[in-house]
Structure 1
Amino acid sequence: MQAFTTLTGQAIPFGAANVDTDVIIPARFLKTVSRAGLGAGAFATVRERADNVFDSNAGAPILIAGANFGCGSSREHAPWALADLGIRVVISPGFADIFAGNAFKNGLLLVTLPQDAIDRLMAVAADGQAITVDLENQVVTTPFQDRFEFAMDPFRKHCLTNGLDEIGLTLGMDAAIAAHEARAATERPWLAGAAGR
C-alpha cells in the first residue's frame, strides 16, 4: 500500500449526498477479479452527462463529496474504482461505515469535515485552485489561508502514513512470530510433528 503523508492537488467538486456504492461503481462493471480498469466505470451514470465534474477534472486526486458517502452495498470495488480513477482522498461530512472500513484497508484517506468546510472547499475546487491534505498534521488547507483540522484514528493514521495494510502489519511482526514459533516448537514439540518421529 502506498504511504500517505501530504497531498496537494486539484479536487473534484462533486458534493452530492447519499452517494451509494452502485453510483461509485455500477454493478455492470463488477464482472472482473482485477482492480485495474475499474476507474473507467467509476461514476458511470454521472459521467454520461457531457458537463460532468469527473471528466472535466480528470486526474484530480481529491474528491469532495456530500454526507453519507459510500452508503449502500458493501462492495470493496468502490474504493478500488476510486483508486483506479486516481483519487487518494475523499472529503465529506460523513461516510458509511462499511465503505470507510473498505477504503482504509485499501489506502484511501477519508477526511470528515463539517458542511461549512465542505462548502468552502467546493468553491475553491470549482475555482480550479489546489487543495492540500496533510495527514501528519491532520489539516486541509487552501491557497486562500483556509485551514480545516480533522480528526483521525491514531491506528489508521499510523497505517496510512507508513503504507501498512493488514499484510504489511503482519510482516512487521516477523521477528516476534518467528520467536513464538521457535519457543512453541521447543516447549510443545508435538505441535510441530516431532512426537511422531
Structure 2
Amino acid sequence: MYGNIIIVKFIGQEKKWTENLEDIFPSSEIRQYDTLEGVRLYCCPHCSYESRTSLANVQRHVKYKHTKEKNFCCSFCPKRFVDKISMERHKRIHTGEKPFQCHSHNSFGAVKRHIKYKHTGEKPFTCSICQMNFTEKCKLNQHTRTHTGEKPFQCDICLKGFGQSFQLKVHMYNHHEGK
C-alpha cells in the first residue's frame, strides 16, 4: 500500500485503486491482495505477518502483537491482558486449577508435551521468515516450505512435487487412481 493507492494483483494483472480505502476493503489498515497463484493474502501493516485464510487473523494479530491495549486485569496481581481467555489462563497460576486431564498418552514425557502445547497455548517454534509461531516443530517445517517452495514429497509416476505428504496422497488418488 502506497498512501491511498493499493496495488492488488490478480493472477498476473495489476489494478490500482485510489478511492476511499474503507469502501474497498473491510479495514484500510490491512493490505489485501491475491498472489500469482490465486491465493488471497491479508498482510499486517506493521510487520511481515500475513494470513492466507482471513482478514480476522490479521486483525487479531494486530490487536495482540501491536497494540498496548490490555483491558483485562488479573484479580490476584497487577498483570493485564489483551483478552479474557489469556487472563483466565493466567489466573490458574494463582488458583492452582488444572482443568485439563489427558488420558490418551502413556508416557510422562508425552503427557507433558501434550499439555504444554495443546492446553497452555505455548508456541515455542517461530518462523524465522514471518515470525509466525507454532506448537510443534513439524508444523513449523511444513509452514517454512510455503516460503522456500521446497517440495520433498514426489510422485513416483509423474515426478510432480508436493510440500506436504497428504497433498501427494490426494494427487495419487485423483490422478493415478490410488496406485
Same fold (TM over 0.5): no
- Taking structure 1 as the reference length, the TM-score comes to 0.25
Greater helix share, 1 or 2? Answer: 1
Question: Using CA pairs below 8 Å that are at least 6 residues apart, which structure has the higher relative contact order?
Answer: 1
TM-score normalised according to structure 2 size = 0.26
